[in-house]
Amino acid sequence: MPRLRELGGLGVLTVLWNAGVVLGVLSELRANDVILGLVLIPCGLIGAALLSSLVRHLRLFALREPVLELDAHPLRQGSVHALSITLRGPLAGGSVTVELRGIESTISNTRNAPSFVRTFFAARLLEGEGVELARDERWTRRLEVAVPQNVPSSFAVPGSSLRYEVVVTTATLGLPEPEENAYPVLVLPLASGAGG
Amino acid sequence: MAELTDVDISLAATRVSPGGWLRGSVVARGRGAVQGLELSVRWLTAGAGSPDERVVHLQALGDEAADGRPVPFEVRLPVTPTSYEGEYLQIRWLVRVRDRSDRVRDAPFEVLPGR
């Protein structure tokens, strides 16, 4: 979700930039300067791009963050858990996808050594379900997530981590990119009292 | 670190469940060949990131081990982390015996659910 500050900054920049362009156009109409006219064309295009980005951010800002509920946390290896996703309108031409992802990442303290991130596990829980919601209308879907026994448990030290997240992706009509909301979850083993 | 060749570590199982018991014994070959033995159970990370290591159990083995008699040990393991062999990250468990001269002998094992 775009933050209010980001939205405000973009709004101010768009207004100032386009005001400059309008002033330039008015001046060009009076003076009929060829060079000024050539400069105004790319400036106008940038202004149009800023305006389009502002409209997109305003639409994203109107989207409400999905609510994720789990029957138990942390999740356990080899267990099936229930989860529910709730969306609130408005949502036009929406498509919802839910996924459990495992992400392996490393950070190197050595100068110039690269860091790595990769998805080592992905389970699709809901695939592109169409949702149309009016303002303040709610949509809730209950799902089951089976955590395999052979996935590693969540892990984090300064140099590396294995983390899991439930990712809710909402694609909305008119927005070029789907909106992703990630909810971190812990995956732990079922503790065993038996001997090894 | 130099290898401690005069000591054998035997494990009851090389795959242990998270939170399970790791059992084994340490025996020194040759009476008086090693002094001040210390046993530790630890995990360490390897791979692309900065390496990390944690000791989950540490005990002195005393004179018994130096006398050539097998010294049994039993350690309750934590639930996490589990062993992992990823592309950029590996988590490995091992039993390490160290002597007074800082020579070490390692015995790797796995911590994985399902057993």
Domain architecture of chain B: domains with CATH:
7-105 (2.60.40.640)
CB-CB contact of A68 with A59 (8 Å): no
The reply to whether A184 and A87 lie within a common domain is yes
Same domain, yes or no, for A109 and A38?
no
- Per-chain mean pLDDT for chain A: 85
Substitution target in B14, B15, B75, B88 with the highest count of A β-carbons within 10 Å is: B88
Average pLDDT over residues A104-129: 85
| Residue A193 domain flag | no
**B49:A150 CB<8 A:** no
Residues A42 and A71 in one domain: no
Final residue belonging to a domain, choices A12, A43, A62 = A62
Same domain, A47 and A106: no
Domain that residue A182 falls in: 67-188
What is the pLDDT at residue B108?
97
Lowest mean pLDDT among A67-81, B56-70, B74-88: B56-70
Task: In whole angstroms, give the CA distance from residue A55 to residue A76.
Answer: 43
| Closest in A108, A150, A194 to B49, CB measured | A108
The verdict on A58 and A71 lying in the same domain is: no
Q: Shortest CB distance from A149 goes to which of B15, B19, B113?
A: B113
Binned at pLDDT 50, 70 and 90, residue B14 comes out as very high
Task: Give A144's pLDDT tier (boundaries 50, 70, 90).
Answer: very high
Does residue A60 surpass a pLDDT of 50?
Answer: yes
Q: Please say if the pLDDT value at position A146 is more than 90.
A: yes
Determine whether A77 is exposed, middle or buried from the number of CB atoms within 10 Å of its CB (0-12, 13-18, 19+): buried
Give the gap in angstroms from C-alpha A97 to the nearest C-alpha of chain B. 27
Q: Which of A58-67, A121-130, B42-51 has the lowest mean pLDDT?
A: A58-67
- Write down the pTM of the prediction: 0.74
Inform me whether the pLDDT recorded for A26 exceeds 90.
no
Q: Extract the tokens encoding A24.
A: 């330039």
Q: Touching check for B78 and chain A: CB below 8 Å?
A: no
Q: Which residue in B89, B95, B110 has the most chain A C-beta atoms within 10 A of its own C-beta, making it the best mutation to test that interface?
A: B89
Residue A155 in any domain: the answer is: yes
Which has more confidence, A110 or A87? A87
Does the distance separating the beta carbons of A116 and B81 come in below 8 Å? no
For A73, how many CA atoms within 13 A lie in the half-sphere containing its CB? 11
Q: What pLDDT does residue A111 have?
A: 65
Say if residue A55 is in the same domain as residue A87: no
Omega before B113 cis (within 30°)?
no
Q: Is residue A121 part of a domain?
A: yes
Place of tokens 């990131």: B49
Same domain, A90 and A44: no
Q: Do A49 and A140 fall within a single domain? A: no
Q: Give yes or no: residues A135 and A172 share one domain.
A: yes
Give the 3-state secondary structure of residue A27.
helix
Tokens of B50: 């900065």
Taking alpha carbons only, the member of B78, B88, B21, B83 closest to residue B51 is: B88
For the record, the structure tokens of A58 come out as 């305003």
Contacting residues for A80 by C-beta, under 8 A, at least 6 apart: A144, A145, A146, A147
Residue B73 pLDDT: 93
Check whether residue A57 and residue A112 sit in a common domain: no
Same domain, A137 and A114: yes
- Sign of CA pseudo-dihedral A54, A55, A59, A62: positive
Of B72, B69, B68, B90, nearest to B81 (Cα)? B90
Contact: B50, A159; criterion CB under 8 Å: yes
Q: Write the CATH number for A127.
A: 2.60.40.640
Indicate the residue among A47, A62, A77 that finishes a domain: A62
A194 in a domain, yes or no? Answer: no
Q: Are residues A172 and A89 in the same domain?
A: yes
Kindly report the backbone phi and psi dihedral angles of residue A28, in degrees, each rounded to the nearest multiple of 5, phi listed first: -60, -40
Six token digits for residue A21: 């362009």
Please give the pLDDT value at position B46. Answer: 92
What's the rounded mean pLDDT across residues B75-92?
Answer: 94
